[in-house]
């Protein structure tokens, strides 16, 4: 469908996608709030329970490009409905899991569906708006993650503490059902293009020849790894290092979510005009916040305040990271969304794994903040390399603001399905 005439307003279908992402994000992040009761119930260690975060991320890494390619010629609305239904069933399976192994498998299956929804949903959101509003559209979708952190993750932690961790999975299954109804009712149906407009996998795969795509992928992965190296173990850091009572965990998770929402709003407003500036400022600030937290983790006030600040800095960059990938991979919007999703979840896999190694080595929970700071520094360096190439290469397809690329009108028209 064509881009809306009123460029100051986003179509309601973009907000419906954001609502669905709220359910997906709650499932992806809620383990940080129920890690301890889950580990006790399933009789596994905290690092083992943390691997469930990595299991979800692995499913996202694999599922995003595979499902994007497999569904490339299917109607996008139909694909979104099917994937959201599978995701909801995966949450129900997780709630009924009799063992750690079964829960692990259910997390991977749910993640595959989540990844496909993210990849296709991001392509739909971008296709429904002018190219100059891409960061705003992606901010709405990322905003679903932010609100999941504000409301969904703390609510999951409360359910885990008072009704058992399985209740949190049932709650997400119900949220996914609500999102499914919204997609069915409000996301427009469009026919699959034919002829010259028909999507071609070989043409979309050609984006991976561009080194700027790989630099964007690395920056996104390292930024995600930096955040999740800490966030996956935030609950035990707060209780065992900062000395807070376990009842404080939902509150601090909510504060992180408030920071994430603030950051998403800021990033969505400025990233279209100042893409690289947003990336440099946000990732550098995250590096500083993580390093300071590593030094002050024994202070409850510092741990709480810096958790809020990390939400702001990490999510300020999210719209810019998403918009940048669509800019450098403009000719392949479906795989651009899949690549961003995969990159983010490479980080979500790497971060908890490296954080778990630091804990298992006996370095204590502050070490996960040092790990995150180091990963964020790599993201800053990668972004600097990309910016230098962008400035030095006249033919670079990377753009500092979301202005139409020469081929954008043709490809966007071809991908409005």
Cα angle for residues 299, 367, 304 (degrees, 5° grid): 30
pLDDT-based confidence at residue 47 (cuts at 50, 70, 90): confident
Q: Is the pLDDT of residue 408 over 50?
A: no
Whole-number pLDDT of residue 235:
82
Residue-wise DSSP of 210-246: -HHHHHHHHHHHHHHHHHHHHHTTHHHIIIIIS---G
Q: How confident is the prediction for the chain on average, in pLDDT?
A: 79
DSSP label at residue 406: T
Whole-number pLDDT of residue 204:
65
3-state DSSP assignment of residue 329: coil
Cβ(44)–Cβ(37) below 8 Å:
no
Whole-number pLDDT of residue 398:
40
The stretch 226-245 carries a mean pLDDT of 86
Q: Is the pLDDT of residue 78 over 50?
A: yes
Whole-number pLDDT of residue 374:
94
Residue with tokens 């969304």: 337
Whole-number pLDDT of residue 381:
92
Task: Record the tokens describing residue 225, joined without a space.
Answer: 């790894």
DSSP label at residue 196: G
- For 274, other C-beta atoms within 10 Å of its C-beta total 16
The stretch 393-403 carries a mean pLDDT of 43
> Yes or no: is domain 12-189+200-414 CATH 1.20.1250.20?
yes
Percent of the chain whose predicted confidence (pLDDT) is above 70: 83
Q: Where are the domains of the chain?
A: 12-189+200-414
- For 192, other C-beta atoms within 10 Å of its C-beta total 14
pLDDT-based confidence at residue 370 (cuts at 50, 70, 90): very high
Question: Could you give the CA distance from residue 238 to residue 249 in angstroms, rounded to a whole number?
Answer: 7
Lowest mean pLDDT among 31-40, 316-325, 327-336, 365-374: 327-336
Burial (CB < 10 A; 0-12, 13-18, 19+), residue 409, is exposed
Q: Is the pLDDT of residue 375 over 50?
A: yes
Q: What is the largest CA-CA distance in the chain?
A: 64
């Amino acid at each position: 469908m064509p881009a809306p005439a009123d460029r100051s307003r986003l179509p309601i279908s973009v907000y419906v996608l954001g609502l669905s992402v709220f359910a997906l994000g709650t499932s992806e992040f809620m383990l940080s709030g129920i890690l301890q009761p889950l580990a006790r119930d399933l009789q596994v260690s905290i690092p083992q329970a943390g691997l469930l975060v990595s299991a979800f991320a692995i499913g996202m890494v694999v599922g995003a490009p595979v499902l994007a390619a497999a569904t490339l010629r299917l109607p996008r609305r139909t694909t979104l409905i099917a994937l959201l239904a599978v995701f909801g069933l995966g949450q129900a399976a997780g709630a009924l899991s009799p063992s750690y192994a079964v829960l692990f498998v259910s997390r991977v299956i749910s993640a595959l569906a989540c990844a496909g929804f993210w990849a296709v949903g991001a392509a739909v959101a971008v296709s429904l708006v002018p190219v100059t509003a891409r960061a705003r559209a992606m901010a709405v979708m990322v905003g679903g993650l932010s609100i999941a952190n504000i409301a969904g993750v703390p609510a999951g932690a409360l359910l885990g503490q008072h009704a058992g961790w399985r209740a949190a999975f049932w709650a997400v299954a119900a949220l996914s059902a609500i999102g499914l109804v919204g997609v069915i009712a409000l996301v427009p149906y469009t026919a699959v293009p034919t002829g010259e407009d028909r999507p071609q996998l070989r043409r979309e795969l050609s984006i991976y020849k561009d080194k700027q795509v790989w630099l964007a992928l690395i920056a996104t992965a390292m930024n995600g790894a930096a955040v999740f190296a800490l966030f996956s173990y935030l609950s035990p850091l707060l209780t065992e290092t900062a000395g807070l009572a376990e009842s404080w965990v939902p509150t601090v998770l909510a504060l992180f979510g408030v920071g994430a929402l603030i950051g998403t709003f800021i990033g969505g407003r400025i990233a279209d005009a100042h893409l690289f500036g947003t990336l440099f400022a946000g990732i550098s600030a995250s590096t500083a916040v993580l390093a300071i937290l590593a030094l002050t983790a024994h202070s409850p006030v510092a741990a709480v305040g810096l958790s809020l600040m990390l939400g702001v800095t990490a999510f300020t960059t999210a719209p810019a990271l998403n918009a940048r990938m669509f800019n450098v991979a403009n000719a392949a919007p479906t795989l651009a969304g899949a690549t961003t999703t995969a990159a983010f979840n490479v980080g979500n896999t790497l971060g908890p794994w490296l954080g778990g190694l630091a804990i298992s080595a006996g370095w204590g929970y502050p070490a996960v903040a040092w790990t995150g700071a180091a990963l964020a520094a790599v993201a800053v360096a990668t972004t600097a390399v990309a910016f230098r190439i962008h400035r030095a290469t006249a033919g670079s397809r990377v753009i500092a603001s979301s202005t139409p690329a020469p081929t954008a009108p043709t490809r966007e028209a071809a991908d409005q399905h």
